[in-house]
Amino acid sequence: MKATCKLSSLLLVPLLAVLTACGGGGGGSTTSTTPSTTPTVVSIAITPASPTIAIGTSLPLTATATYSDSSTKDLTKSVTWAAKGTLVTVYSSGQITGKAVGTDTVTATYTQSAGNVTGSTDVTVKAPWTTVVAGGNQTFARKADGSLYGWGLNNRGQLGDTTTTDRNVPTPVTGSVLTWKQVAVGDQFTIALRTDGTLWAWGFNQNGQLGDGTTVDKATPVKIGTATDWTYVAAGKAHALAVNKGGVLWGWGRNFDGQLGDNTNIDKLVPTKIGTATNWLKVAAGTIHSLGLRTDGSLYSWGGNLNGQLGNGLSGPDVLQPARVGSSTWTAVSAGDTHSMAIRADGALFGWGGNSSGQVGNNGTLNVTAPAQITTAINWAVVAAGGSHTMAVRTDGTLWGWGANSDGQLGDGLGLDTSSPNQIGVATNWSSVSAGANHSFGLQTDSTLWGWGRNAEGQLGNGKTVSAPTPVNLP
């Protein structure tokens, strides 16, 4: 008997049951559903990759995951951060803070049931210092965060810490300012620029070298005028020079020998415009003479010339306004007590002026009245003229010194004057150097500071007052 299926009698039966019942022996079909799979993390990348930070500064790191379905996402949960060594502090958020100089490895580990995944990056920690300037018997240095520190002689308030007490360790300039850009150190006074283009000064002010219109010493920074377009500043024994954004040269302070360049020998208590040129780039100030570079690389000198420090072939007569020196093109210039040094555009080094201790570097001790090439090398990068000694760095990162050395200011450990450049040590990672009256300071590529020479006033900043004949790391 043939079986039949009447839908009318199954109205209350689920449709699926009806279709199954009517399907017969083997004519029906079924449908299966595959369960969905959640993507898993397969790799982690940390950004920024291989960062460099200074001691005391912080940087946020980000862990970005790549999933099994090729998608990416920044991880904020289930991530554990850690450092391999002790040079950086790592926080749960991924932020790191530099603790000591060197290279450490930071890892980010993501925890999941399919197996943990780890990503890592190397972090280089540098010392906090970015620039250092030695002048007179004191030293100043700027940190990566824009703060400014001074140490050494402070008899006139030249450290800017509100006191007149000498310091043998780095002491912050009062005010907690983090916008210092450039600093110039005179004999017993200091001039500095901020990133907003303002100019500040403190210390000895007998000749108006602070530029604030008075002759009263200041133990804290005072603003010079209202201009906000200063770009470069230099400090001599008792006079200062500065260039503004328009390339105009200004001078103030002691002017007995015409070192301001305004065609007079009268002291100026406020910045005074020098000439009409609008292409000044950099300036340097010695005891009684001044040097300047223009944007076309031409070199000018003015002021006292008793020892031939103006490089004009003469010795004796003062020059009361800027006069060009030769016809070469120059890239760097530095003024010492009575001598001058400059680097020509081709990397050759020249010196002239007072040379009683061999500070010119021409293998002699007689004064030199015109630029004389020092060695045949053409890879000089930085030169600094001090009281009666000179320090320099070559493009290969080597350090060199010559001239007076009674206080160990050359850093060669010998204590003997030398009249030609001698390499100091074997390090090849020097990036800059500066020379004071009888001490020197250098900066290495890892941003560590090193000082040597006289330290009776604490100008080496190492917590002592004993001179150092070779470079000593600032703690």
pLDDT at 10 over 50: no
Fold classification of 41-126 is: Immunoglobulin-like (2.60.40)
pLDDT at 52 over 60: yes
| Confidence band, pLDDT 50/70/90 cuts, at residue 469 | very high
d(CA 91, CA 74): 17
pLDDT in tens, 421-455: 999 999 999 999 999 999 999 999 999 999 999 99
Which is nearest to 333 in space by CA: 302, 366, 376, 367? 302
At 84, is the pLDDT very low, low, confident or very high (cuts 50, 70, 90)?
very high
Give the per-residue pLDDT at 15: 37
For range 53-57, the mean pLDDT? 92
Q: Two tokens at 237?
A: 């024994």
- List pLDDT tens digits, range 446-459: 999 999 999 999 99
Q: Residue 132 and residue 127: Cα distance in Å, rounded?
A: 13
| Average pLDDT of span 386-415 | 98
Q: CATH fold of 129-473, please?
A: Methylamine Dehydrogenase; Chain H (2.130.10)
pLDDT at 142 over 90: yes
**27/378: higher pLDDT:** 378
Query: Is residue 9's pLDDT more than 70?
Result: no
Identify which of 401, 404, 400 has the alpha carbon closest to the alpha carbon of residue 416.
404
Q: Work out the average pLDDT over 273-301.
A: 98
pLDDT of residue 37: 83
Evaluate whether 393 touches 444 at the Cβ level (below 8 Å).
Answer: no
Does 205 score more than 80 pLDDT?
yes
Residue 29: pLDDT band (50, 70, 90) is very low
CA angle, 436 as apex, 273 and 265 as ends, to 5°? 30
CB-count exposure of residue 337 (10 Å: 0-12, 13-18, 19+): buried
- Select from 126, 127, 130 the least CA-distant residue to 103: 126
Tokens of 273: 């415009």
**SS3 label, residue 10:** helix
Check pLDDT > 50 for residue 236. yes
pLDDT at 185: 98
Q: For 95-128, how does the pLDDT look when each residue is reduced to its tens digit (9 = 90+)?
A: 999 999 999 999 999 999 989 999 999 999 999 9
pLDDT tens-place string over residues 60-80:
999 999 999 999 999 988 899
pLDDT at 25: 42
Predicted local distance difference test score (pLDDT) of residue 51: 96
* pLDDT at res. 448: 96
For residues 371-392, average pLDDT? 98
CATH 2.60.40.1080 domain locations along the chain: 41-126
- Residue ranges, comma separated, of all CATH 2.130.10.30 domains in the chain are 129-473
What is the percentage of the chain residues whose pLDDT exceeds 90?
91
> Mean pLDDT for the chain?
93
- In the numeric block, the tokens 């990068």 are attached to 381
* Average pLDDT of the residues in 464-473: 98
| pLDDT tens column, 144-195 | 999 999 999 999 999 999 999 999 999 999 999 999 999 999 999 999 999 9
For residue 288, pLDDT beyond 60: yes
Q: What percent of the chain has pLDDT over 70?
A: 92
pLDDT of residue 22: 38
